[in-house]
């Protein structure tokens, strides 16, 4: 089954997405770039409010391909109690070396590498993701004004990406300015999840307010997987407050 990921800015939007049936609540600040991170206090409070009702993912922000920068950002995001930590794989001379050197402390979370269909690196990111023990890979779009995912990669290339990820034992997600008219075609490829932001907002603007009606519409297009047992996710860290402070041991 394909899961429905809804990107939200904070606890209020998370409640809307939960009411409307999203499978995964993804924390992202659309005004801060392709994978803009929400303020840390907002992240902690949202995880606390969700309280295991759905899985939670969060981005670390649009950070350079430098393990000395990425590793502490990934560890801090994981410490907030999310189920998945996402970071962007940006094309450049240091991309492959960074991925080979990256050994983040995940603190119980799982790692997701996000590639951009309009800015693909020259290295084998899927293979490197598997080598570092990541849980999955996603395809997104970096430049939101440059078109949706299917305007950069046709269904044959998307299908090949999904097959490649599966061969490496990774979960595979698709996102990138997706609209409701894309759902049927992408579902036929069998990804593990489809991610949305703009299509869930008022006037379909990714920086706008989340619309419960729009979230419910997308939910209705993606068959919901039956829940067999209570979720034990969203690992709320009792050692953290909403301002991100840790106790002194």
pLDDT at 93: 96
Residues 212 and 200: their CA atoms lie apart, in Å, by 8
C-alpha–C-alpha distance, residues 198 and 98, integer Å:
31
Return all residues near 145 (Cβ < 8 A) that are at least 6 apart. none
Kindly tell me the burial class for residue 93, based on how many C-beta atoms sit within 10 Å of its own C-beta (0-12, 13-18, 19 or more).
exposed
Least trusted range by pLDDT, from 21-30, 47-56, 175-184, 223-232: 223-232
Domains and CATH numbers, the chain: 3-221 (3.20.20.70)
Residue 141, pLDDT > 80, answer yes
Task: Give this prediction's pTM.
Answer: 0.89
> What confidence score (pLDDT) does residue 204 get?
85
Of the candidates 86, 107, 180, 224, the residue annotated as catalytic is 86
Strands 84-88 and 55-59: parallel
- Clarify whether 86 is annotated catalytic: yes
Q: What are phi and psi of 74, to 5 degrees?
A: -65, -45
- The confidence score (pLDDT) of residue 183 equals 97
C-alpha angle 64-173-199 in degrees, rounded to nearest 5: 90
Output the six-digit token pair for 210.
């989340």
**Segment 180-192, tens digit of pLDDT:** 999 999 999 999 9
Backbone phi, then psi, for 39, in 5-degree steps? -55, 145
- The widest CA-to-CA distance across the chain, in whole angstroms, is 54
28 assigned to active site: yes
Round the average pLDDT of the chain to a whole number and report it. Answer: 91
**E-assigned strands of the chain?**
3-8, 24-27, 55-59, 84-88, 110-116, 136-140, 171-174, 193-196
Residues 79-97 have a mean pLDDT of 97
Cβ pair 48, 242 in contact under 8 A = yes
CB-side neighbour CA atoms (13 Å) of 151: 13
């Amino acid at each position: 089954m394909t899961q429905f990921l809804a990107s939200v800015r904070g606890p209020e939007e998370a409640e809307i997405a939960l009411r409307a049936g999203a499978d995964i609540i993804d924390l992202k600040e659309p005004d801060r770039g392709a994978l803009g991170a929400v303020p840390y206090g907002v992240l902690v409070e949202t995880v606390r409010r969700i309280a295991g009702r759905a899985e939670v993912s969060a981005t670390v922000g649009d950070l350079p391909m430098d393990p000395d920068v990425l590793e502490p950002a990934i560890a801090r995001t994981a410490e907030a109690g999310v189920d998945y930590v996402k970071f962007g794989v940006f094309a450049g001379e240091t991309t492959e070396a960074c991925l080979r050197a990256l050994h983040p402390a995940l603190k119980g979370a799982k790692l997701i590498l996000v590639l951009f269909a309009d800015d693909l690196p020259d290295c084998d990111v899927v293979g490197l993701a598997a080598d570092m023990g990541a849980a999955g890979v996603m395809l997104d779009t970096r430049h939101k004004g440059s078109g949706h995912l299917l305007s950069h990669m046709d269904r044959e290339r998307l299908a090949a990406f999904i097959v490649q990820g599966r061969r490496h034992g990774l979960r595979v997600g698709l996102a990138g300015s997706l609209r409701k008219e894309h759902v049927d075609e992408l579902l036929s490829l069998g990804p593990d999840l489809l991610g949305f932001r703009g299509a869930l907002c008022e006037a379909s603007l990714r920086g706008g307010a989340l619309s419960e009606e729009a979230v419910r519409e997308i939910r209705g297009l993606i068959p919901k997987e039956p829940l067999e047992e209570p979720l034990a996710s969203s690992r709320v860290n009792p050692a953290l407050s909403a301002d991100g402070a840790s106790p002194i041991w």
